[in-house]
Amino acid sequence: MNRIDQKFIELKKAKKAGFIPYVTAGDPDPKTSERIILALANAGADVIEVGIPFSDPLADGPIIQAAMQRALEAGMTVGKTLSLIAHVRAQTQTPIVLFSYLNPILKYGMKRFANDAAAAGADGVLALDMPPEESAEYVRIMKKHGLSTVFLVAPTSTDARVRRIARLSSGFIYCVSRTGVTGLTKGKFDEVERTVARIREHSAAPVAVGFGVSHRDDVRQIGRLADAVVVGSAIVRTAAEHRDDPVPHIQRFVKGLIHEKK
């Protein structure tokens, strides 16, 4: 069984929402990036999203855009990202989802990418700008290699698109909390409950909510509505603010988000 599926079964039995942090591979450098990913696993992450650096990340806000630029300047590539995943996988069984734009996957070669990602120990792929209407071959290739295919549902998605995404998705469905790009907000999640309910009308798959989640209250609020909560920009910002040694600061921040205060 795919590690993502197993994790959500465990979370359901425990009656708790999962925590899914996002980081950019190679930010601020490959060795530190590996330490950060392992620190997230040790801090209690249920699934980890690892972003493949790309020069034109249009759906991401300035914090993750800057992280991708730092990673590219550090020499990170698709191949090096997959090598990083292999190193991490040798040290943890925490499920890993590769977060990518379509261009790097196509340039690397879709079949080669699926094969190498699976061999490295990745469990799923979220191709951010993959149109569901054009994704049949992509889904077939990824699933052939045992990789879950995660798709995004936005508040503006039509019912027809939600139904299509429900058919194509595996692992979990990523619910975008609001319109716009990734980044920090002040806890405005008015559309989340409605969007999650629309997804559940068409799919029994777990639903993870992300975009703009940055505070403990956000995590608790969304955790009552969805099966998992995704936090990205706030973690990436913490790494950028403590570039000399971001690991202890990230661990402290993540534990503060997900563990009850005593």
What residues act catalytically?
49, 60
Largest CA distance in the chain: 50
**75 φψ region: left (φ > 0), alpha (ψ -120 to 50), beta (else):** left
Q: How far is CA 179 from CA 183, 189, 200, 256, in A?
A: 11, 11, 20, 27
CB 240 within 8 A of CB 62: no
One-letter amino acid of 165: I
Structure tokens at 212: 């703009």
